[in-house]
Amino acid sequence: METSLVLLLLLAPFVGFLSNIFFGKQLGKTGSGVLGTLAVVVSFFVSCYFFSQVSGSKQPINVHLFDWISLGKFSINFDILLDQLSLLWLLFVTGIGSLIHIYSISYMHDDENIHKFFAYLNLFIFFMITLVVGSNLLIMFIGWEGVGLCSYLLIGFWHKNQEYNDAAKKAFIMNRIGDLGFLIGIFIIGYLFNSLDFMTIKQAVLSGSNPEVAGWLSIATLCLFIGASGKSAQIPLYTWLPDAMAGPTPVSALIHAATMVTAGIFMITRLNFLFDLTPDVQNIIAVVGAITSLVAASIGLVQNDIKKVLAYSTVSQLGLMFLALGLGAYEVAVFHVITHAFFKACLFLGSGSVIHALHGEQDMRRMGGLKGAMKVTFLTFLLATLAISGIPPFAGFFSKDEILMVAFHENKVLWVIAAVASIMTAFYMFRLLYLTFFKEFRGTEEQKHHLHESPMLITFPLMVLGVLSVVGGAISLP
C-alpha cells in the first residue's frame, strides 16, 4: 500500500500535466483548471496521511521503487525518503500549491492558453515533489533541474511580450550558473563517499571512517552553497528573482512562497551533517545571507511596483534564512521557511487581487483608497503585512525572533545587520499597505468606476492564508 500511495503522491501532478497538455482544450477553461487543481489536492491529502504516520512513529518511511544505476560497487536506487523534513516541505508545497491552483482558475480564466498554464503548474509541483522526496542527490538534482525548466516556462508564459521572454531567459541562465556548482558538489561527494544516498553519506560522516576528506568536503559544500544561492536568490545570483515578476501573479506566488526559492534551503538542511563539518563554509553562508537581507531590503524601500516590492522582500527574507543556516540553526531556518510561505503567498495573491481589480495596474502611485471596495483583500493583506513585519503574535514574529536571537548569541555584527533589515522590511511593507489601500484613489476614473472585490475563487485562498499568517507561529510552541 505504501508503494501505491507514494506513486499516487508523485504521479498525480504528472498525470494532471499530461491530461492538460493533450486534452486541455477539449476540457475547456474551467475543466482544465479543476483537473489541474484536483491533481495537486490529491498529492496534498496523501502528504497529510504520510505526515500523520511519520509523526506518530517518528520513523522515516523509505520506499524502494526500482534499481536505477549500477556501476561496479557504485549503485543508485530510485528510492523515496519520507521523513519529517521532506513531509513538512510536501505539506506546504502541495497545500499552498493547491490554493494557488484554486486562485488561478479565476485569475487566468480569460487567458486562451489556460490549459497550458495549468499543465506547467502541475509539472512544476511534480518536479518539486521529486526534489523533496528523493533519497539521494541524483533524484534531488533531477527535481532541481525540472523546477528550473518549469520556472522558465511559467515566467515567460506570456511569451508575446519580449520583456517577459528576457526575464524567463535570465532566470534560466542564472540558475544554470548555480546548478553547475551543485553538479560539481555532487561529483565530489560521489567520489569521496562512493555513494549519493543521503543516509549512506550520513553514516560515513558520523562514523568518521575517512578523516582525509575534510579539504575536499569544504570544496564540495562550497559548491553546494553556490547551487543553493542560484535557486534561493542570494548575492550575487539574486537579480533573476525580481525580474521573475514578469510571469502571471500565481506563478510569482508559487515561485516565491512555496517552491523554487525554498529548494536551496531544503538542500542545505538535508545535508546539514556535511555543512556542520565545514565551519568556514558556514561562516560564508551566514555573511552572504545577512548582506543579501540588508541589500534587498534597502532596494525594496524605493520600489513603486507592488510586485517588485514583494520580490525584494522575498530576497531579503531568504537572506535571513541563509543567515540561520550559516549559524547552524537549521530548525529555525525551516520554521521561517514555513511562516514565510504562509504570509508571502497571501501577499502575492493579494497583490494579484488588486491588479485584477485595476485591470493590470501595478504602480502603487496609481492606487490608493482600495480598502473600502476590497475589504477581504485589504484585511488579509493587513494580516500578512503584520506577519512579515514581525509584529506579535503573528506568524512572522516567532520565526524572525528566533533568527535574531540565534544571531545575537553567535555574532553581534550579523545580528545588527539582520535587525536593520527587519526594520526596513516593516517600513516598506507598511508603505506598500498605505499607498495601496489608504487615502484617495489615484487611478483613472474608469478604474475607479469599476473597483470591486475579487470573486470567491480568489478571496478564498486569501482568507485561508490570512488565517495561517496569524496562527502559523503556533507550530513552534511545545
The reply to whether omega before 250 is within 30° of 0 (cis) is no
Quote the pLDDT of residue 210. Answer: 63
Q: Which residue has the cell 508545497?
A: 93
Of the candidates 137, 279, 272, which has an alpha carbon nearest to the alpha carbon of residue 202?
272
Q: Which residues of 396-429 are buried (b: 16+ CB within 10 A; e: fewer)?
A: bbbbbbbbbebbeebbeebbebbeebbebbbebb
Q: Specify the pLDDT at position 478.
A: 39
* Beta-carbon-side half-sphere exposure of residue 222 (alpha carbons within 13 Å): 11
Q: Specify the pLDDT at position 323.
A: 97
50 vs 46: CA distance, rounded Å: 6
Contact 83, 54 (CB under 8 A): yes
- How many Å apart are CA 447 and CA 101, to the nearest integer? 27
Distances (CA, A) of 31 to 20, 96, 126: 9, 21, 20
How far is 174 from 178, CA to CA, in rounded Å? 7
**Residue 197 to residue 219: CA distance in whole angstroms:** 19
Low-confidence ranges of the chain (pLDDT < 70): 209-212, 476-478
Maximum Cα–Cα distance for the chain, whole Å? Answer: 73
pTM: 0.94
Q: What is the C-alpha separation between 274 and 93, in angstroms, rounded? A: 25
Question: What pLDDT, on the 0 to 100 scale, is given for residue 63?
Answer: 87
